[in-house]
């Protein structure tokens, strides 16, 4: 737990209280509800709707609602925590600083929580590989994080737009979900935790349970100082092939639960795979590696090992739920399946990247805290904030190796 007891923090608390008093709306009594697992891609086809295939328009779909207002950036704050040694895994403020730094560099550390674990270590290894440092070195990355992230925490305001993405009455039964127009968040706390790439538990540590349990628009809270995931800017766009990005390739490693994205012709290096026991130091930077993210692979019996190609790429996908397929392995008629609408609590999250192997793709999730732990049926899950980065990195035509 970060220790924030200082004169500066006390002043921050006064500031946050003043922000609450500005709003005439009385505090809500809504409890914090997590994004409940509602099946993931239990439908092993895991296909968006319309015949089971993702719809990728010839051109990106124009927004059907007015453009959202400009994003109000969080205000960095000064915190107090003893500095960690540079040559080991950091703690306190430096742990959050490192996770924010890696996240911004597109080497996903998993949920930001101030407790670096397996995914933070894998992200450090990827960063070291790209920059030519020994794979397990901590000095270089901790130094870069201190120089690049002066303030690991910030004050953020719950935006008005959150009201259109939060519905505490969202059902958990799929038959009822199919009648909704959107798979929303279930609380403002869930909205803000995903927006700032962290867990509800961490927001509670930073702000206290009373505040997090009763969040509403215009409230101010402490969050990781990371570039926010702005769900309100997703329009349902489809993405076409791109001359450069379509030539890239991605490696989905189901042993270490990570996807690594490379340029078309990365430099050949004699190194160990991240997470291996035997490590050969990198002699020069591997600029071919451009990003890596933690994933949850499919169940072993459903994983489709091999080399595939990205065929479609779409925001806010629908999802076809087929109970007969789950029970018998045989696909039912469309009239018997359920059409689950898009949204952050969809089992396929807010983005779908379909592969040439039918029914298999890289996609988001309704519960980012389970990335790396819960097993999906056949697809590759990423946190929503990582999944939405995929169209800026890979496009239809990209080679994806699952191993």
Beta partners for residue 351, in sequence order: 315
pLDDT of residue 85: 97
Phi, psi for residue 201 in degrees, rounded to 5: -60, -35
Could you tell me if 312 and 56 are in contact, meaning their C-beta atoms sit under 8 angstroms apart? yes
pLDDT of residue 330: 65
pLDDT of residue 169: 97
Q: How far apart are CA 262 and CA 288, in angstroms?
A: 5
Domain extent listing, the chain: 7-28+72-232, 245-257+295-402
pLDDT of residue 41: 40
Contacts of residue 344, defined as CB under 8 A and 6 or more positions apart, other chains included, come to 35, 165, 183, 184, 185, 194, 231, 350, 364, 366, 384
User: How many other C-beta atoms can be found within 10 angstroms of the C-beta atom of residue 196?
Assistant: 25
Residues in the chain with pLDDT < 50?
Answer: 1-65, 270, 279
Three-class secondary structure of residue 262 per DSSP: strand
Three-class secondary structure of residue 20 per DSSP: helix
Q: In the Cβ-directed half-sphere of 193, how many Cα atoms lie within 13 Å?
A: 34
245-257+295-402 is classed CATH 3.40.50.2020: no
pLDDT of residue 276: 58
pLDDT of residue 172: 93
Q: Which residues of 86-122 are buried (b: 16+ CB within 10 A; e: fewer)?
A: eeebbbbbbbbbbbbbbbebbbbbbbbbbbbeebbbb
pTM here? 0.80
């Amino acid at each position: 737990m970060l220790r924030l007891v200082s004169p500066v923090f006390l002043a921050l608390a006064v500031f946050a209280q003043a922000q609450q008093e500005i709003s005439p709306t009385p505090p809500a009594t809504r409890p914090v509800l997590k994004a409940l697992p509602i099946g993931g891609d239990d439908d092993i086809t895991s296909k968006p709707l319309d015949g089971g295939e993702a719809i990728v328009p010839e051109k990106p779909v124009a927004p059907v609602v007015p453009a959202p207002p400009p994003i109000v950036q969080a205000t960095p704050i000064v915190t107090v925590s003893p500095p960690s040694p540079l040559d080991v895994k950091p703690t306190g403020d430096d742990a959050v600083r490192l996770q924010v730094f890696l996240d911004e560099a597109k080497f996903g550390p998993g949920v930001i929580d101030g407790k670096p674990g397996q995914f933070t270590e894998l992200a450090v290894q990827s960063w070291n590989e790209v920059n030519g440092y020994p794979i397990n070195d901590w000095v270089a990355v901790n130094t870069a994080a201190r120089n690049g992230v002066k303030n690991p925490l910030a004050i953020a305001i719950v935006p008005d737009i959150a009201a259109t993405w939060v519905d505490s009455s969202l059902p958990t039964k799929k038959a009822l979900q199919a009648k909704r127009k959107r798979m929303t968040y279930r609380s403002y706390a869930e909205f803000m935790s995903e927006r700032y790439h962290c867990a509800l538990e961490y927001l509670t540590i930073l702000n206290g349970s009373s505040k997090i349990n009763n969040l509403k628009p215009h409230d101010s809270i402490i969050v990781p100082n990371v570039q926010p995931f702005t769900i309100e800017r997703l329009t349902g766009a489809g993405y076409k092939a791109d001359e450069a990005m379509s030539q890239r390739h991605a490696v989905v490693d189901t042993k270490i639960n990570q996807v690594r994205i490379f340029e078309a012709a990365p430099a050949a290096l004699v190194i160990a795979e991240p997470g291996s026991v035997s490590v050969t130091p990198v002699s020069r930077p591997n600029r071919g590696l451009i990003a890596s993210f933690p994933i949850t692979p499919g169940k072993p019996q459903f994983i489709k090992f091999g080399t595939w190609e990205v065929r479609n790429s779409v925001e806010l996908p629908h999802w076809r739920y087929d109970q007969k397929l789950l029970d018998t392995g045989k696909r039912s008629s469309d009239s018997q399946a359920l059409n689950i609408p898009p949204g952050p609590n969809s089992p396929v999250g807010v983005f779908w990247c379909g592969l040439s192997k039918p029914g298999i793709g890289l996609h988001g999730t309704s519960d980012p805290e389970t990335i790396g732990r819960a097993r999906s049926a056949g697809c590759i899950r990423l946190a929503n904030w990582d999944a939405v980065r995929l169209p800026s990195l890979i496009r239809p035509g990209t080679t994806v190796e699952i191993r």
